[in-house]
Amino acid sequence: MHKLDLLNTGRGKLALVTGAAGFIGSNLVDALLASGWRVTGIDRRSPETDPVAAANLQQALTTPGFTFEQADVTDTRARELRKADIVFHLAAATGVRPSWGVNFADYMRDNLTATHHLVQECERADVRRLVLASSSSVYGTAPQPSAEDGPLLPISPYGVSKLAAEQLALAYAARSASVTSTVALRFFTVYGPRQRPDMAISRMLYAVRTGVPMNLYGDGHQRRNFTFVTDAVRALLLAASTGTTGRAVNIAGPASVTVQMVLDTVEEVTGQPVPVVHTASRSGDPASTAADTRRATAGLGYRPAVSLPEGITRQWQWMRAAQSAPLIGGPA
């Protein structure tokens, strides 16, 4: 597999990142800038009015080579910015619970329609590479460990929307006249600094910090393949610089672990038990996720580097250093 040197090829080139003010997006922006790329970030949230966006982009906004544009992916202003060497598409409606019912219209607009606009604009602007963020939610109840060429059985509207978005992007890339090579990364439960407050590890650390019990959905025996954010970002960079194209690739952490094991690790890291209130499982949450990452290893050269204890320690240190910033809005 042909592999490029990202650090060398990035210097002086332009990367466009959608969802740049978000959790993974802002971490990716920082990494690209550190590697010498010029970066244009697009997000509907403005650092001037949104405190979370301001905190996430604080470093980037003071770094030469970064331009921020408050825009929707489908805005005309955003289309004019797509003369990029590579596009990382991370903008999306996220979360399983909010995707049920009338909110699904937002997921269709933000995950499917926006992706459709983006892939068309990439073709028109002769963008050579598109890296799309997908999700392990596309697997649902499929047999595990989940392999990219195995069954896709999403059990939530969110999972359905992410599957439709990646298949749409890959369908465009498969056309004989397409100039844009595309790879979709299926991320498994990313955590770390800047993680959304509604996600599990954020809620656990928030509960420890405040003493306010968190809702523990299910019995704690459900399993997840947690992926630290720097591993996720490294996978994005690898996807930008390899010849892997026209396919989906699983990106996951070292192992699938139970939620109870995560609670125990949080207690070890913080020195305090996590206060919880047990409640029923939620619709759309699979009992277990576990990734087959052989394609990522062979095609991208990806291997996870951060263990769960190390990752939770780094997220806890970040949360404490950020003082009140991570408490904005509280956990869902």
pLDDT tens for the chain, 332 residues long, are 333 444 445 677 999 999 999 999 999 999 999 999 999 999 999 999 999 999 999 999 999 999 999 999 988 777 766 679 999 999 999 999 999 999 999 999 999 999 999 999 999 899 999 999 999 999 999 999 999 999 999 999 999 999 999 999 999 999 988 999 999 999 999 999 999 999 999 999 999 999 999 999 999 999 999 999 999 999 999 999 888 999 999 999 999 999 999 999 999 999 999 999 999 988 889 999 999 999 999 999 999 999 999 999 999 999 999 865 444 444 54
CA 111 to CA 105: how far, in whole Å?
10
pTM (2 d.p.): 0.94
CATH superfamily, region 6-327: NAD(P)-binding Rossmann-like Domain (3.40.50.720)
CA 292 to CA 290: how far, in whole Å?
7
- Helical axes 114-124 vs 157-174, angle rounded to 10°: 20
pLDDT at res. 10 = 64
pLDDT at res. 197 = 94
pLDDT at res. 21 = 98
pLDDT at res. 243 = 85
Residue keyed to tokens 């650092």: 47
DSSP string, 244-294: --SEEEEE--S-EEEHHHHHHHHHHHHSSPPPEEEE---TT--SB--B--H
Q: Which residues on adjacent β-strands are paired with residue 321?
A: none
Give SS3 for 55: helix
CA 20 to CA 315: how far, in whole Å?
20
Q: Which residues of 104-128 are buried (b: 16+ CB within 10 A; e: fewer)?
A: beebbebbbebbbbbbebbbebebe
pLDDT at res. 82 = 65
Q: Are 123 and 178 in contact (CB under 8 A)?
A: yes
pLDDT at res. 83 = 77
Query: Which residue type does 251 have?
Result: I
As to burial, measured by CB atoms within 10 angstroms (0-12 exposed, 13-18 middle, 19+ buried), residue 5 is exposed
Give residue 34's region: left, alpha or beta (phi > 0; psi -120 to 50).
alpha
Give start and end residues of each alpha helix (H) in the chain: 6-9, 23-34, 51-56, 76-79, 104-107, 114-124, 157-174, 200-210, 229-240, 259-270, 294-300, 308-321
Write down the domain spans for the chain.
Answer: 6-327
CA 133 to CA 27: how far, in whole Å?
14
Residue 39: phi and psi, rounded to 5, are -130, 130
Residues annotated as catalytic (active site), given as ranges: 158
Q: Are 189 and 224 in contact (CB under 8 A)?
A: yes
Q: Are 190 and 24 in contact (CB under 8 A)?
A: yes
Q: Which residues on adjacent β-strands are paired with residue 142?
A: none
